């Protein structure tokens, strides 16, 4: 087997969900050994078993990225079974509707803990080994919500803005160790559960039409399209890219 990430070991957090599953599947097809981490342990194991049946090396584990003991233990188990960690995809994330004036404190903290602290803790779990070996790639799945304001999504926008800022900061810190840190900012991914929840919040067909009309390409992204971009960023083809953010939004933020 050969491929664009052949021989690399890559962790995908939130790997049981729509986008995480798509990324895991594509990385495995392109030759990577894939560690699938998700708070849904059965889902993570199911994805890993599917990849293994297709001939890849994979392991699925249950862990909450906002819990240091859990995520660090999962990273160690993946390294023990699959080898040195070459890449990390910080994909795990949460979203909820709400503005600042009616913010639910528990929901706000949970979104920040998963979307921001989860990136920090998962990265912390793999960085020492990457620094020692002087190679590695970290890819943070951000969002256009970190670039523009989205009505009634205060916590999510704040968290993804933090992810983009953290991506730039980490790129500066770890470039001397030949570790690349980049982000991808998708628009709405219509094929995922999170995307469907967002779209279901539109109160009427007219509201859904107005949302779609904001996209110059006239449609939403698919998980497979975002996965292709992730593959590029994790491959050696992007070896001079660090501190960058690849926006995949069908032209929404260009308008």
Contacts of residue 206, Cβ cutoff 8 Å, sequence gap at least 6: none
CA distance 114 to 239: 28
CA distance 112 to 220: 26
* CA dist list (Å): 212 to 3, 209, 227, 249, 252: 35, 5, 22, 11, 10
CA distance 72 to 64: 10
Annotated active-site residue 174? The verdict is no
- Of 156, 174, 177, 215, which residue is the catalytic one? 156
Asked if residues 31 and 8 have their Cβ atoms less than 8 Å apart, the reply is yes
Which structure tokens are listed for 175? 């470039």
CA distance 116 to 171: 16
CA distance 55 to 70: 28
User: What are the residue numbers of the active site?
Assistant: 156
């Amino acid at each position: 087997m050969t491929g664009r990430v052949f021989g690399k070991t890559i962790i995908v957090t939130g790997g049981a969900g729509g986008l995480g599953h798509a990324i895991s599947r594509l990385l495995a097809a392109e030759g990577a050994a894939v560690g699938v981490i998700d708070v849904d342990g059965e889902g993570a194991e199911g994805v890993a078993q599917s990849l293994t049946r297709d001939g890849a090396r994979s392991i699925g584990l249950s862990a909450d990225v906002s819990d240091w003991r859990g995520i660090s233990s999962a990273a160690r188990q993946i390294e023990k079974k699959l080898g040195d960690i070459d890449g990390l995809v910080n994909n795990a994330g949460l979203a909820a509707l709400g503005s600042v004036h009616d913010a639910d404190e528990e929901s706000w903290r949970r979104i920040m803990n998963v979307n921001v602290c989860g990136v920090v803790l998962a990265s912390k779990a793999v960085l020492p080994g990457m620094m020692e070996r002087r190679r590695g790639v970290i890819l943070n799945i951000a969002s256009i919500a970190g670039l523009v304001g989205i009505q009634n999504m205060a916590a999510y926008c704040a968290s993804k803005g933090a992810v983009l800022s953290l991506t730039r900061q980490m790129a500066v810190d770890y470039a001397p160790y030949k570790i690349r840190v980049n982000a991808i900012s998708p628009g709405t991914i219509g094929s995922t559960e999170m995307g469907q929840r967002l779209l279901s919040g539109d109160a009427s067909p007219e509201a859904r039409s107005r949302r779609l009309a904001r996209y110059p390409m006239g449609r939403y992204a698919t998980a497979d399209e975002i996965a292709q971009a992730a593959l590029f960023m994790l491959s050696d083809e992007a070896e001079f890219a660090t501190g960058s953010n690849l926006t995949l939004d069908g032209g929404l933020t260009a308008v």
